[in-house]
Amino acid sequence: MNLLTEDDAREMLASVLLPLCQTHGPTRVARNLGGVDEKTVRNARDEKSLLCFDTAANLLALDPHAFEPVLNHFGRRSVPIGATCDTDALPAMTGAVHKLVVAAAPGSCGGSSLSNAELLDAHRDIQTAFDALGVLLNRIAQIKRAAA
């Protein structure tokens, strides 16, 4: 397992900050991170510096998947505390796949390509499926750790 380097951390932090700044602007992001300076956010977004851990942790209030790049580096992923039971994974996946298949049908609003509206409409179903699969993946990891 490769340890996280400062360059890795800068790149991962920027991958989270860039879309947040594009959507909300660096001023609003800075305010939502506890009132840090806008320049601090821009520097982190541009990979010139890092944020303090407490400030970076506040990114979770803006993006619940803000730590995913770091967790992924170590072969992990986050799962919400209130994630559904693993028995809910199949219905969640079925619902998400059905919604995407209908949206990608040639006669749909976006044709055979998913339109932004269709993708946004499927967001909740996709997120529910993702969360349910996360529970299953955690269970698999526990089984493997116990077997090792």
* pLDDT surpassing 80 at residue 116: yes
Q: Could you tell me the pLDDT band of residue 4, with boundaries at 50, 70 and 90? A: very high
Helices 38-45 and 6-24, packing angle to 10 deg: 120
pLDDT value at residue 115 = 80
Q: pLDDT tens, 8-27?
A: 999 999 999 999 999 999 99
* pLDDT surpassing 60 at residue 86: no
Q: pLDDT tens, 88-106?
A: 667 777 877 887 888 888 8
pLDDT value at residue 85 = 56
pLDDT value at residue 81 = 72
* Contacts for 115 with CB less than 8 Å, ≥ 6 apart: 103, 108, 109
Q: Could you tell me the pLDDT band of residue 127, with boundaries at 50, 70 and 90? A: confident
* pLDDT surpassing 60 at residue 87: no
Which of 45-59, 100-114, 133-147 has the largest mean confidence?
45-59
Do residues 81 and 60 make contact, with C-beta atoms less than 8 angstroms apart? no
Do residues 66 and 59 make contact, with C-beta atoms less than 8 angstroms apart? yes
The DSSP code for 144 is: H
